[in-house]
Amino acid sequence: MTTATTGKRPLGAVGRVLARREARVALLFVLPAFLLFLAFRFGPSIAGVALSLFDYDITGEIAWRGLDHFQRLVADPLFWRAMGTTVVYTVFAVPISLVLSTVMALGVRRAFRGSRFFRSIFFLPVITSLVLAGSIFVWIFSANGPWSALMSPLGLGGSWLGSTVLVIPAIIVVGVWSRFGYGMMILIAAMQDVPRELEEAALMDGANAWQRFRSIILPHLRPTFFFLAVIETTAAFQVFDVIYVMTQGGPANASYSLVYLLYDQGFKYFDYGYAAAVGVALFAMTLVVALVQRLVIGKQR
Amino acid sequence: MRVSKFTGVAAGIAAAALLAGCSAGGGQASSGEKHVTLWMYPVVADEATNKSFWDDTIAAFEKEHKDITVDYEIFPWANRDEALQTAIAAGKGPDLVYLVPDQLAAYKKSIAPMNDLLSAERQKDLLPNVKDSVTIDGDLMAAPVLTSAQPLVCNAAVFQQAGVAEYPKTWDDVKRLAPTFAAKGFSMLNYPASAENTLNMTFYPVLWQAGGEVYDKDGGVGFDSEAGEKALTFLTDLATAKALDPEALTTNVPLEQTAIAQGKVACTFNNAVTEVAPFWGKENVKVLPPLKGEKSVAYGTVGSLAVLKGSKAPEAAAAFAEYATGADVVKPFLTAAGYFSALSTTEPLYADDPLLGEVEKYVPDTTVGQLATSSRALMGVLSPEIQAALLGQKSPADALKDAAAAAAPILKK
Amino acid sequence: MTAATPTTTQALTTPDRGRRATGRGRSRSYRALEPTGLGVVLRWIWLSIAAILSFFPFYAMVVLSLKPGKVVELPGSLLPWNLSFDSYAQVLGGQNLLGWLGNTLVYSLVSVVAVLFLSALAGYAFAKKRFAGKEVMFWSFLAMVMVPFHVTLIPTFILMANLGGVDTYWGLILPTLANAQAVFLMRQFIEGLPDELFEAARIDGAGEFRIFLRIVLPLCKPILATLGIFVFLWHWNDFLWPLIIGKSNAMFTLTVGISSLQQQNVPLSTMLAGSVVALLPIFLAYLVAQRYVQEGVTGTGIKG
């Protein structure tokens, strides 16, 4: 579907010169971004990852620990607890968010009176920093808040943030609320790309909305879904802000995520080496999942 | 391959920068002019008052010490540790910074002890319990600015509404009175159990009242003891009897939304009189001695100014710290913030204020507990276990045992 | 998009992928794809419900911030009367708001321009050029997103400190310019542009950089608009990095400054007033810019 990035140029002598020139220009174009990445992503990441093999404290003392931190990590029940919380959060928040994004995108993708208004409303949570919105959500989920009032008839009243069982669903709700608009916008753009003739033809063949979605729109969305899946999963694995402002990992560590563990170990207890080990574990997890997603969802080429 | 070469170079640069930053603040030849930077926080809530105090104090100090200039910056409470740590790690920390005892323990390696920097006279003037609270391994770590006290504070209006005529003095009193309050829909005690509350204000006073300690004398776990279990059981029994505000057990909400501010809780030992007086009405605030388990003990924080090791002008910084914390100089600061003097030689600050004057009487007897580098990490593992016990998910004995197990790797270091 | 032909701006800025048939023959089946009658009403209903749920937290924030000092109770506190601006007076009185606002604007705008330019350059190279190590480089860019922020925080700060960037604008901005998502989105978009456009210019003898400036960038307007908004917003809301790199009140950004007002025991209404003040500028900016965002998004081809 993509226009080929590799042209079908003949590679005679002239061709080779041109190809080398192209490569040089290309590298020049990539250079500024690449240098920035080296300095501020690769460099600090490697330093941060390397820290996991040492004990490092703020006075600058470094001591070699080898794999000690990782041994401690594996034996730490709080690590596994945080892993469980993070995984549960991701497993629910990402699909729900993607489904919601898709449904909303389908609903507002065509222009009609008010479509722009609705798109804006759904996008507002995306531009809202959770650090600033946290306090209103604490109230919403409190025992006297509107969410409890809504859930009372279902027998689920009371403060969700105070329940070790319901606290994760609560942060999932907030997490989804704050991100679904982003996916929605990206999906709207991707859906614009679907040739209308195809949909019209299917309609005339008698296909209903769901069938049209499944056989025509969905295949076109595959690469977009891959992109969104990786981005949303990475973000979900790194869930921190919403927990920091709403629950601080509680009650009784029920909403303690991996990045929260990292944060506590590094910035509260000054154990940077151990924190870096948590970071490495998280990075590895995210990478593995991304690779799996590539296999399953894949990119069209 | 080009990519890997770049990566190698980058890693080298990053590593070199990291190591260069590690040798924080090397010594430098002192010029005639000495410059001191102070990092302060909104101890006085009103920014204008806070600023004018420091402006005036610095102006007066600089007049007496013509070769020293002082700059200050007021930082938000939020994320102050990250800001401070990253600054210290990169050698960009201040000379002087406001710290509380737990921070003194955590930042111990970065603080320059003040044994020789603070005058002997001042050290003698400090209240003994205050001096203890800023001393670690015999080193005086900071110049105390203020102290507080957390005795028992009760709401007379609630007692009246519940028909209770006597105020509790001991744990037994509390256990006895709790059902009466519960029957009328009041909670007996305020106990905020969520993770962001420091145990110094919640569990540790109860532990100390039971005769227990957080650390044993070898620096190992001390709370997993008979006294510890007694303390936690006292609390869990209250929780089961509905004598503790359930919302406070799990969530921190803004003060005016809490049950205690709304007059639904009888007593508290973790709120200041200045906090509750606006809600209860001054006439309803009763200041009482701390509850007695085996002993009657209360927590009292200490705010202090510490000199950091990376400072290029430690003597100048200490001189300013001593000046700013002098009895007369610091008085407007204390009264604006509602805190108490750390010096034994000052007159009572609040002789005219019935409430603060009462609290002031308990100041010399408060404690900050034992200071250790692992204090915060220990609280981090103990607090959720206590919360779990209070929520009925574990027995107190199990909670303390699990906490002790989780604390083992932390204390090993 | 309405039933009429696309606006001229869209026609100029969006590459024609042969998917917009014009002419009357289209309108019949087009309308068939749209819901009618009951369908329209139903759509309005469920979109409105979703919009109410989505917007409710903002409404609550504003209303509760206008009810200082009261204990919040349902549903009374949510009703929009008995309002008072006291909390706002508390938040705004005597603060360096303009300074913070200025810092945030500098931080956000400069970053946007820099990120857009650099990621367009890189994205173009990744999309249209062949060179050794391309795939590895690209995927390593993306992999860096997976390293948690706090892990790189201290090494990044140490690096900036040693370069003398603490408490400066460039120290604030520079590390945030390494944006993998931006490069990714630019690459995706540019891949969808037909090669012929560049070939023609190349045959005419135009230099590569010229081609980039004169042809690629203009064609990228939709994605640049969208990406620009995302980057702007991310920088506007950024809290931890500006807090750490700035050491004085003069260097605070809006979010850091507002949070500095949150002392212990600040009432809910004051906290919310602070949040509203910090959010208002971007909401307004978004309302103004949303037309361009949406046109940009609908014109963006995010394909594989």
**B377 close contact with A: CB closer than 8 A:** yes
CB atoms within 10 A of CB B335: 15
B227-239 burial, b at 16+ Cβ within 10 Å, e below that, comes to: bbbbbbebbbebb
Structure tokens at C178: 């390494």
Residue type (1 letter), A86: T
End-to-end CA distance of chain A: 7
Summarised one tens digit per residue, pLDDT across range C109-123 is 999 999 999 999 898
**What value does the mean pLDDT take over residues C55-78?**
84
Number of residues that make up chain C:
304
Which chain A residues contact residue B7 at CB under 8 A?
Answer: 38, 42, 46
CB B184 within 8 A of CB B162: yes
CB contact under 8 A, B1 and C268: no
Identify the residue whose tokens are 């982003």: A182
Report how far residue B351's alpha carbon sits from residue B364's, in angstroms, rounded to the nearest whole number. Answer: 16
Choose among B317, B325, B321: nearest CA to B343: B325
**What value does the mean pLDDT take over residues C196-225?**
79
pLDDT of residue C157: 81
Distance from the Cα of residue B125 to its chain's centroid:
22
pLDDT of residue B135: 92
- In chain C, the domains with their CATH numbers are 35-84 (no CATH), 93-300 (1.10.3720.10)
pLDDT of residue C212: 83
End-to-end CA distance of chain C: 23
Summarised one tens digit per residue, pLDDT across range C274-283 is 888 888 888 8
Residue C10 has pLDDT above 50, yes or no: no
Report how far residue C235's alpha carbon sits from residue C241's, in angstroms, rounded to the nearest whole number. Answer: 10
CB contact under 8 A, A44 and C152: yes
Q: Is B265 helix (H, G, I), strand (E, B) or coil?
A: strand
Query: At a CB cut-off of 8 Å and minimum separation 6, what does C298 contact?
Result: A188, A189, A192, C1, C10, C222
Peptide bond into A251 cis (omega under 30): yes
pLDDT of residue B27: 36
pLDDT of residue C298: 54
pLDDT band at C27 (very low <50, low <70, confident <90, very high): very low
Give the pairing type, strands B285-288 and B152-155: antiparallel
Residue C3 has pLDDT above 70, yes or no: no
Summarised one tens digit per residue, pLDDT across range B167-201 is 999 999 999 999 999 999 999 999 999 888 889 99
pLDDT band at B12 (very low <50, low <70, confident <90, very high): very low
Report how far residue B181's alpha carbon sits from residue B192's, in angstroms, rounded to the nearest whole number. Answer: 19
Summarised one tens digit per residue, pLDDT across range B19-68 is 333 333 333 334 568 899 999 998 987 778 899 999 999 999 999 999 99
Residue type (1 letter), A222: R
Q: Does the structure's ipTM exceed the value 0.90?
A: no
Identify the residue whose tokens are 């009041």: B186
Query: At a CB cut-off of 8 Å and minimum separation 6, what does C290 contact?
Result: A116, A119, A120, A123
Q: What's the half-sphere exposure (Cβ side, CA atoms, 13 Å) at B152?
A: 22
Q: How many CB pairs under 8 A join A and B?
A: 129
Residue of C nearest to A233 (CA): C146
Choose among A105, A111, A96, A106: nearest CA to A232: A96
**What value does the mean pLDDT take over residues B359-376?**
88
Summarised one tens digit per residue, pLDDT across range B281-333 is 999 999 999 999 999 999 999 999 999 998 999 999 999 999 999 988 999 99
pLDDT of residue C24: 40
Q: Which helix (H) or strand (E) element contains residue B189?
A: strand B187-189
Distance from the Cα of residue B328 to its chain's centroid:
24
Query: At a CB cut-off of 8 Å and minimum separation 6, what does A18 contact?
Result: A9
Residue C129 has pLDDT above 50, yes or no: yes
Q: Which helix (H) or strand (E) element contains residue A248?
A: none
Summarised one tens digit per residue, pLDDT across range A190-249 is 887 778 888 888 888 887 778 888 888 888 888 888 888 888 998 899 888 888 888 888
**What value does the mean pLDDT take over residues C289-300?**
62
Q: Which of residues 36-75 of C touch A (CB under 8 A)?
A: 40, 43-44, 46-47, 50-51, 54-58, 60-61, 64, 72-74
Q: Which of B84, B99, B107, B250 to substitute to test the interface with A, most A CBs within 10 Å?
A: B250
Distances (CA, A) of B150 to B202, B261, B269, B301, C22: 10, 17, 6, 9, 78
pLDDT in tens, chain A (301 residues): 344 445 555 567 777 777 777 778 888 888 888 899 888 888 888 888 888 898 887 777 788 988 999 999 999 999 999 999 999 999 999 999 999 999 999 888 887 888 888 988 998 998 888 878 888 998 899 888 899 888 888 888 788 888 888 999 999 999 999 999 989 988 887 887 778 888 888 888 887 778 888 888 888 888 888 888 888 998 899 888 888 888 888 788 999 999 899 888 887 888 888 988 998 898 888 888 888 887 877 654 3
CB contact under 8 A, A26 and C129: yes
pLDDT of residue C205: 75
pLDDT of residue A8: 54
Q: What is the CA radius of gyration of chain B?
A: 23
Q: Subunits with at least 3 CB pairs below 8 A relative to chain A? A: B, C
Q: Which helix (H) or strand (E) element contains residue B302?
A: strand B302-307
Query: Taking each helix axis from N to C terminus, what angle separates A218-237 and A272-296, rounded to the nearest 10 degrees?
Result: 170
CB contact under 8 A, B15 and A47: yes
Summarised one tens digit per residue, pLDDT across range B223-243 is 999 999 999 999 999 999 999
pLDDT of residue C31: 55
Which chain A residues contact residue B13 at CB under 8 A?
Answer: 39, 43
Which chain A residues contact residue C148 at CB under 8 A?
Answer: 238, 259, 262, 279, 282-283
**C217 close contact with A: CB closer than 8 A:** no
Which chain C residues contact residue B3 at CB under 8 A?
Answer: 133, 136-137, 140
Which residue did the predictor score with more confidence, C189 or B296? B296
Residue A90: exposure state from Cβ atoms within 10 A (0-12, 13-18, ≥19): buried
Which chain A residues contact residue C121 at CB under 8 A?
Answer: 29-30, 32-33
**What value does the mean pLDDT take over residues C205-227?**
80
Considering the domain delimited by A72-300, tell me its CATH architecture. Orthogonal Bundle (1.10)
Q: Which of A159, A185, A212 to substitute to test the interface with C, most C CBs within 10 Å?
A: A185
Residue type (1 letter), A120: S
Report how far residue A170's alpha carbon sits from residue A147's, in angstroms, rounded to the nearest whole number. Answer: 10
Residue C235 has pLDDT above 80, yes or no: yes
Residue of B nearest to A69 (CA): B409
**What value does the mean pLDDT take over residues B278-282?**
91
pLDDT of residue B290: 92
CB B24 within 8 A of CB B310: yes
Distance from the Cα of A160 to chain B's closest Cα (Å) equals 10
Choose among C186, C141, C184, B23: nearest CA to A40: C141
pLDDT of residue A95: 95
Report how far residue A48's alpha carbon sits from residue B69's, in angstroms, rounded to the nearest whole number. Answer: 38
Of B2, B79, B90, the CB nearest to C240: B79
Report how far residue C129's alpha carbon sits from residue C169's, in angstroms, rounded to the nearest whole number. Answer: 34
pLDDT band at C7 (very low <50, low <70, confident <90, very high): very low
**What value does the mean pLDDT take over residues C146-155?**
77
pLDDT of residue B160: 92
**What value does the mean pLDDT take over residues B116-130?**
91
Which chain A residues contact residue B247 at CB under 8 A?
Answer: 142-143, 159, 162
Lowest mean pLDDT segment, chosen from C54-58, C212-216, C297-301:
C297-301
CB atoms within 10 A of CB A163: 17
Q: Subunits with at least 3 CB pairs below 8 A relative to chain C? A: A, B
Residue of C nearest to B85 (CA): C154
Report how far residue A225's alpha carbon sits from residue A184's, in angstroms, rounded to the nearest whole number. Answer: 11
Distance from the Cα of C245 to chain B's closest Cα (Å) equals 8
pLDDT of residue C295: 63
pLDDT of residue C26: 43
Which residue did the predictor score with more confidence, B5 or B293? B293
C158-184 burial, b at 16+ Cβ within 10 Å, e below that, comes to: bbbbbeebbebeebbbbbbbbbbbbbb
**What value does the mean pLDDT take over residues B151-156?**
93
**B267 close contact with A: CB closer than 8 A:** no
pLDDT of residue C223: 78
pLDDT of residue A96: 96
Query: At a CB cut-off of 8 Å and minimum separation 6, what does B303 contact?
Result: B43, B98, B99, B100, B144, B145, B146, B147, B339
Residue C142 has pLDDT above 80, yes or no: no
Q: Which helix (H) or strand (E) element contains residue C45?
A: helix C38-65
The sign of the torsion formed by the CA atoms of B389, A175, A92, B79 equals negative
Torsion of CA A118, A121, A124, A125, to 10 degrees: -100
CB contact under 8 A, A60 and B14: no
